[in-house]
Structures are given as C-alpha cells and as structure tokens.
Chains A and B, each alone.
Chain A
Amino acid sequence: MQLTKRVPGELRLGLMAAACALLVQPAQSQEAVTLASDDEKPLQVDAGVLYYKESAGRIQSYDAIVTLRKDFGDEHILGLNGAYDSLSGGSPTGAVPTKAAQTFATPSGTSLKATNGAPVTYTTSSGRKVAQLETVTVYTVSTGALPLDTGFHDQRVAGDLSWSQPFEQNNHVALGGHLSHEQDFQSISGNASFSRDFNAKNTTLGLSGNAEFDKVSPVGGVPVFGSDYTQLLKGGDRNKQVTGGQLGLTQVLARNWITQLNLSYDSSSGYLTDPYKIVSVINTLGVATGYRYESRPESRSRRSIYLGNKVALGRTVLDISLRHGTDDWGSSNDTVDARYRIPLLGDDLYIEPHLRYYQQTAADFYSLFVSSAAAIPTYLSADPRLAAFSAKTVGFKVGMKLDQDNEVSVRIEAYKQDAKVHSSTLAGLSGLDLNPSLQSFICQLNWRFNY
C-alpha cells in the first residue's frame, strides 16, 4: 500500500471519507442509472409511429406505441404502454403458384363450394352464422403468381401495465400484465420477475415467468385440421395458452462493457394452427388438384439462449447480440443483431447503423405442397414462416436531442427474407418461384420527452 504511506494523515482521512461516501451510495446498475434522469423529470414519455410496407402488394401496416414511465421515488416505477396497429394488404395463403389461374374465396366465404355452388349456412359452436350472412369475395390469382388473400385487414389495440420496486436489500420484484384485442384474436397475459444483485451490483441474477391466454375467433370459423378446402368443415372459437420462464444473468465486465445472458423456455398448447392458411395438393404432373387447410400440432415448446452486449468504444456504442433457439417442431434458428451508435456534432446528434442476420430451419411438417399420390399427413403447413429461410435487415437511425428533455429520431430499414427451397422439378411447376422473397421497408419516427 504505497499510496497510504505517502499520503499525510488528514488527507488520508479525507480520501477514506470520500471513498466511504461513494460506497454508501447505491451502486448504480443499468436500470438505476437510467432512472437518475427520471428523478429529475418523473414522467418519461416515449412515443413512436411506424410505417411498414411489403413489396409485391403484400402487407402494409401503420403502428403506434406510447410508453409512459413514472418513478415515484426509490425506484418504485409504474409503466404504461399502449399500442395500435392497422394492417391491410395481401397475405400469402400458403398455396403455391401454378401455370394455371387459381380461384379462392376470402375466409368469410369459407370455401369455393359456398361461392360457386348453392349457398350454405352453418353455425359455429359459438352460435355465429357464417357464409350466407357475410360477404363472399372470390378472387382469382393469375398464372405464376403467388396466391395472396388481398382482402386481409385487421386492427389491433393493446395495452401493458407494469410495476417494479426494490425488495429488501439488493432485490427487485416486478409484475406486469398485457391485454390485446383484434377482430379475430384476444389475448391476456401476466408476468412476474425477481432479480438479485451480487458482487457490488456488478452481477444481477434474474428469474421471470409469463402466462398468456389467447382466444382465436377466425373470420368464417376455425377450419377442421387438414380438411378439404372445398368443404365446409369449420368449427367455433378455440383457445391457446403459453407459459414461459427465463433465467437471466447481467454482468458488468469492464468500465465500458456490460453483458446479458438469458436462457428462455416456453410451452404453448391449444390451437396453434393458422386458420387462414392452406396447402396445395399437387399431382405427379405438377398440377394443383385441390387444397387442404393446414394442420399443426397442438403443443409446442421452445428454448433459446441469448447473449447481449453493450460496449462503449470512445464516444461510440456497439450493441451486439446473438441468439440461438430450437423448438420441438424441428425448427432451429440463429440471430445476430448489431447496432453502432456514432455521435455527430457533439452528443446532440447521432447516427446508428443497424445490421441483422437471421436464419431458421424448416418445421418438420412444413412443405411447399403435398402430393395427391400419397396420404395426406396428419400435420401439414406451407406457411412461409415455417420454411427454411434466411433474412437480412439493413438500416440506420438518426437521432437528435432538441434540449435536455426532448429527443427525436427517425429510423429507416429494409428487410429481405429468402427461402432456401422455392422451386420444384415437377413439369407443371418447373420455372415457377414457389416461395418468392419477401422484401419490406420500415420507416419509424420516435419522440422521447420528460414531462
């Protein structure tokens, strides 16, 4: 201890007192640090609007989120979150393009039989009459085009409420709830978490759990799993449950580096099928002979490991994360996400490039189509989201601090998804792109202010 030998007694006492004063202060974990400004301005408001548009006449949406965060003191924090989405455009039905025009009915039409044959009325188990009572729209998909249900439109309203506070020394607890409403989907969920700080608050271990209950009420009813598209085999509303848990470790590795490691598991049960998706039935010549509604297992469990890092390099900040996940549907996935914040003109203006790469393998029961020459499998889906594909996101964000309490930013991004298998050697399908790339554009505006 050379220092103590060289420092005079009074100064040494002064330094010790200063050091003790620092130690008495609660060591600031990342969460606590961000609250420092909340103490000065109790209500923090984050608002964002987003425009999302896919190419080739597919989905577009307008989304808005407002988040309120209020610290009542001593890290007793109330969070409120409201979201609204409006979606429209063409959603892939799952049927493949063919060399002949194809005709489909919107979900409210329930089937081609209802539109081309005698009108049929049926009553779902919830007592809802469909087919005759609802507008039937038949649409034709031209030769070689990907079948899209262009009548798709939906709105979603969602809200979150959360509360977190310290619990005895070095512990935090948090509770939260979520409600979501769509025309054909209702969801309610709750979550709870407990975390404990160790190692002079350089290490935080957290455990959290989540339970979600959903009600699925598709337009036109719930199709019978794997049934013929031309039949009126539909039932009433169905339910879905999801429970999950997460074990998290946050560690300060250096003065400029904090890392987070999460292990997650969730289990879903109930109705996990997409009621609007169908699968083409193709004969040995490559000609569509019919369609089946898709059918997925009624349970699914997923596991993932996530590693996030925040590293300051001078005034710049690198945010890089890795994720690996698997599920018992036979699909696995990997994600790399990187953002690099670069200050411009001091700290009031910054630009943040963003790159993301994602890849997944196909679910066991996924196929572009099923063969008419073989028995229809129990589980089948041609939903492109269950296919093997890779996806890239490239974009940037520009943010500007207007004053101490106001910051605005704009984010522009492009997303491209490329399927690994999108062709067939069957004569009737050769030369057709059976699962075309998905390209989308994202524009987002944010406003953060303290009130």
Chain B
Amino acid sequence: MNCRLIRIAVCGLALASLAGCASVGIKPWERDILARPEMALDANPIDTAFDEHIYFSKEAASGGRGFGGGGCGCN
C-alpha cells in the first residue's frame, strides 16, 4: 500500500513537473551559477563510473542515472 502511494506521488510529481516546465526557467544571462563546473549534473564521471561498478556488483539494482554498471560478469 505504501509503495503504491509513493508510486502515485512520484508520478504525480513528475507530471506536475512536466506541466510546469513551460513556465519554469531562467534567462540566458542568469546562468552564471549553473555555469560552474561543479553544477554539471555529472560533475565527477570517474566517481560515478566507480560507484556504478561497485553497486552493480553488490546490489540487485543498477542504473537510473544512465545505463550504469552493465557489461560485467560480477553480477
């Protein structure tokens, strides 16, 4: 039951996000903060690659951010 509620809430949030996208955003000259390298969505690809590899080999889940962790016989 809890899982179902969480799923509905996440889907609702996702739909609300999509609907709100058209009016959400900033102007090009307001991108100074987002332009900082550490604000990139994957600012540390090496850390991400190591983490995906470790968690893929130790847990049942993988990926989500991208196609993470595959191509290994460790799981």
> Which of A's residues lie within 8 Å of B, judged by CB?
19, 22-23, 25, 27-28, 30-31, 33-34, 36-37, 46-48, 50, 52, 63, 65, 67, 81, 83, 85, 87, 154, 156, 158, 178, 180, 182, 184-185, 187, 189, 191, 198-203, 208, 210, 212, 214, 216, 242, 244, 246, 249-256, 258-264, 266, 274, 302, 304-308, 310, 312, 317, 319, 321, 323-325, 327, 329, 331-333, 335, 341, 358, 360, 363, 385-386, 391, 397, 411, 415, 417, 438, 442, 444, 446
- A212 in complex: contacting residue of B46, B47, B65, B70, CB < 8 Å: B70
Q: How far is the CB of B36 from chain A (nearest CB, A)?
A: 7
Residues of B contacting A65 with CB < 8 Å?
46, 49-50
Q: How far is the CB of A22 from chain B (nearest CB, A)?
A: 5
19 A-B pairs in the complex with CB atoms less than 8 angstroms apart: A65-B46, A65-B49, A156-B72, A158-B71, A185-B73, A191-B67, A202-B25, A251-B21, A252-B24, A252-B25, A252-B26, A307-B13, A310-B39, A312-B39, A317-B38, A317-B39, A358-B55, A360-B61, A397-B47
Contacts A264-B63, A310-B41, A386-B60; A22 near B33 (Cβ below 8 A) = no
Check B1 for interface membership: any CB of A closer than 8 A: no
Interface positions, chain B 29-55, Cβ under 8 Å from A, are: 29-41, 43-47, 49-50, 53-55
CB <8 Å contact, B40 and A34: yes
Q: What number of B residues sit within 8 Å (CB to CB) of A?
A: 53
> Which of B's residues lie within 8 Å of A, judged by CB?
3, 6-7, 10, 13-14, 17-18, 21-22, 24-41, 43-47, 49-50, 53-55, 58-61, 63-67, 70-75
Closest to A315 in B: B36
Q: How far is the CB of A441 from chain B (nearest CB, A)?
A: 12
CB <8 Å contact, B26 and A249: no
CB <8 Å contact, B70 and A27: no
Closest to A389 in B: B59
Q: A258-B34, A266-B67 are in contact. List 11 more A-B contacts (CB 8 A).
A: A33-B40, A34-B37, A189-B70, A244-B63, A255-B33, A305-B64, A332-B3, A333-B60, A358-B55, A358-B59, A386-B60
CB <8 Å contact, A187 and B71: yes
Residues of B contacting A210 with CB < 8 Å?
67, 70
Residues of A contacting B71 with CB < 8 Å?
158, 178, 180, 187, 189, 212, 214
CB <8 Å contact, B58 and A385: yes
Residues of A contacting B26 with CB < 8 Å?
202, 252, 254-255
CB <8 Å contact, B60 and A327: yes
Q: In the bound complex, what is the Cα–Cα distance between A358 and B26 (angstroms)? A: 34
Sorted nearest first, the 7 A-B pairs with minimum C-beta distance are: A185-B73, A202-B25, A306-B64, A48-B46, A187-B71, A333-B61, A180-B71
